[in-house]
């Protein structure tokens, strides 16, 4: 029996593509292994959102060289976002001539054919499609066991934020047919999954390209009826298209969780405009106000970037002030990194590294203080926790997520795994909440 390793870099969308790549390999008789030394296929599903993501791939490929020498039959493949960039496939071939297979984000479904070709012809395959084709339905996915399943609702992104590489490597927006999504969810419920996370780079754009238009609120409405699935989450929504009607829909639907991940990127309207985000500080703050008015218990998280070209002390202060004003439950913080081919990479006024470093440190410090305070505010509250299993924090402890997406740890029997437990929060930590199971 042949064996494979898939190493995934990047976002949930890539993680889910890897589940599909794995599904196709398993359908071909391959089995997953941990042992690079013995694997018949090592596939790197790559990310290029920042240089750090690419550097990880370069060093992983460098380390594979000696293994390829001792096991020349091993197929090494590189796929995903990185080779989809102009000129990158050629660069990879030149730097790592022992790579056998390179393909992009638009021809994932061809992996089995590529492998057959390499085995028959014994020569490298390099195939990148410049444009996406129709969405291919029905590909098998080898999902990791658990309660939570990722479901892609749309591919690509049309936003072209000036710093971002994603639209260039993932193509234009394409929405899946609602019926295909419903069907997939029914299958997931049959397989025992309790929670789905709907994936798209900007889920608010869902449906704009469908023959029979249905918007994201309409899709949520349709999916909320799915029997067997208890929770619905989504990633990522864009503040520009998020509106009060969608907030009301989310407030009304029982399965859609009260967690809003709304990447703000910057608190300065001037920088937001240069980023081409399509909203300003006031719009963002008014959205937060509406969320809190309709759903007082909602958790709000975000992505923030520091050091975008031209960001001065005043712009950064505006970001810090916005963080203080909104009081995010948590945030993912990033240092701006110029991506070749994006408009921002060519902007003058790139911010020096020392300033970026100082700003990210200040921002993380502030966010940690606020995250801790927000967690403390939950002490004494009751939370519905979908129990995922035994916690590695200590013996006899279980863990799961609250509807607001916070990790909750409490003492209980492991037979509770997969069920919803009611837990009183007794103590806040920065990264999780501690609680006591309420006996039913």
The one among 161, 203, 246, 287 contacting ligand SF4 by CB under 6 A: 161
Q: Which does 160 bind (CB under 5 to 8 A by kind): ligand SAH, ligand F3S, ligand SF4, none?
A: ligand SF4
Q: What does the CA dihedral 322, 271, 346, 49 come to, rounded to 10 degrees? A: 30
22 near 31, Cβ under 8 Å?
A: no
Question: Considering only residues 257-276, where is the footprint of ligand SAH by CB under 6 A?
Answer: 263, 265
Write out the binding residues. 11, 47, 81, 157, 161, 164
Write out the binding residues for [4Fe-4S] cluster. 11, 47, 81, 157, 161, 164
Question: Considering only residues 190-219, where is the footprint of ligand SF4 by CB under 6 A?
Answer: 201-202
The DSSP call for residue 28 is: T
41 near 71, Cβ under 8 Å?
A: no
Does 334 participate in binding ligand SAH (rule CB under 6 A)? yes
Cβ nearer to ligand F3S, comparing 164 with 409: 164
CB of 23 to ligand SF4, least distance (A): 25
Does 49 participate in binding ligand SAH (rule CB under 6 A)? yes
Q: Please list the residues that pair with 43 across neighbouring strands.
A: 6, 77
Does 89 participate in binding ligand F3S (rule CB under 6 A)? no
Does 339 participate in binding ligand SAH (rule CB under 6 A)? yes
The DSSP call for residue 265 is: B
Does 10 participate in binding ligand F3S (rule CB under 6 A)? yes
| Residue 298, number of CB atoms within 10 A of its CB | 20
The one among 14, 299, 319, 417 contacting ligand F3S by CB under 6 A: 14
Count Cα neighbours of 176 within 13 Å in the Cβ-side half-sphere: 21
SS3 261: strand
Strand-pair category, 420-428 with 382-390: antiparallel
Cβ nearer to ligand SF4, comparing 238 with 274: 238
Does 45 participate in binding ligand SAH (rule CB under 6 A)? no
Closest by Cα among 77, 137, 136, 123 to 104: 77
The one among 6, 88, 154, 166 contacting ligand F3S by CB under 6 A: 166
Look at the block and give the residue holding tokens 């911010």. 351
CA-to-CA dists, residue 392 to 77, 206, 389, 410, angstroms: 34, 38, 10, 12
Chain residues binding ligand SAH by CB under 6 A are: 49-50, 163-164, 166, 201-202, 236, 238, 263, 265, 303, 305, 334, 336-337, 339
Chain residues binding ligand SF4 by CB under 6 A are: 157, 159-161, 164, 166-167, 201-202, 238
């Amino acid at each position: 029996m042949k064996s494979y390793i898939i190493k995934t870099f990047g976002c949930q969308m890539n993680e889910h593509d890897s589940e599909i790549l794995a599904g196709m390999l398993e359908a071909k008789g391959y089995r997953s292994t941990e042992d690079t030394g013995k694997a018949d296929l090592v596939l790197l599903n790559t990310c290029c959102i920042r240089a750090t993501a690419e550097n990880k791939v370069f060093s992983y490929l460098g380390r594979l060289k000696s293994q390829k020498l001792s096991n020349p039959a091993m197929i090494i493949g590189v796929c995903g976002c990185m080779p989809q960039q102009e000129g990158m496939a050629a660069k990879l071939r030149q730097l790592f001539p022992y790579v056998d297979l390179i393909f992009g984000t638009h021809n994932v479904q061809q992996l089995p054919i590529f492998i057959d070709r390499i085995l028959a012809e014994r020569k490298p395959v390099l195939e990148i499609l410049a444009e996406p084709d129709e969405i291919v339905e029905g590909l098998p996915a080898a999902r990791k066991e658990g309660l939570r399943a990722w479901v892609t609702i749309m591919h690509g992104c049309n936003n072209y934020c000036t710093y971002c590489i994603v639209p260039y490597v993932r193509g234009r927006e394409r929405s899946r047919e609602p019926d295909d999504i419903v069907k997939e969810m029914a299958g997931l419920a049959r397989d025992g999954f309790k929670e789905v996370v709907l994936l798209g780079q900007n889920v608010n754009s869902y449906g704009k390209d469908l023959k029979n238009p249905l918007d994201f609120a309409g899709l949520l409405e349709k999916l909320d009826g799915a029997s067997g699935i208890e929770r619905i989450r989504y990633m990522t929504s864009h503040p520009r298209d998020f509106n009060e009607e969608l907030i009301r829909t989310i407030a009304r639907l029982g399965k859609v969780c009260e967690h809003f991940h709304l990447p703000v990127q910057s608190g300065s309207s001037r920088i937001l405009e240069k980023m081409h985000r399509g909203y300003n500080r006031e719009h963002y703050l008014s959205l937060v106000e509406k969320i809190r008015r309709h759903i007082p218990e909602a958790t709000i998280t975000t992505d923030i970037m520091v050091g975008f070209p031209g960001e001065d002390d005043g712009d950064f202060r505006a970001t810090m002030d916005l963080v203080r004003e909104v009081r995010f439950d948590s945030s993912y913080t990033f240092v701006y990194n110029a991506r070749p081919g994006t408009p921002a990479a060519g902007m003058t006024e790139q911010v020096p590294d020392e300033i970026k470093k100082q700003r990210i440190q200040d921002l993380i410090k502030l966010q940690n203080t606020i995250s801790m305070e927000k967690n403390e505010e939950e002490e004494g509250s009751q939370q519905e926790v979908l129990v995922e299993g035994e916690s590695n924090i200590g013996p006899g402890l279980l863990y799961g997520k609250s509807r607001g997406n916070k990790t909750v740890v409490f003492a209980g029997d492991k037979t509770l795994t997969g069920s919803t437990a009611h837990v009183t929060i007794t103590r806040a930590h920065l990264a999780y909440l501690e609680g006591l199971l309420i006996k039913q």
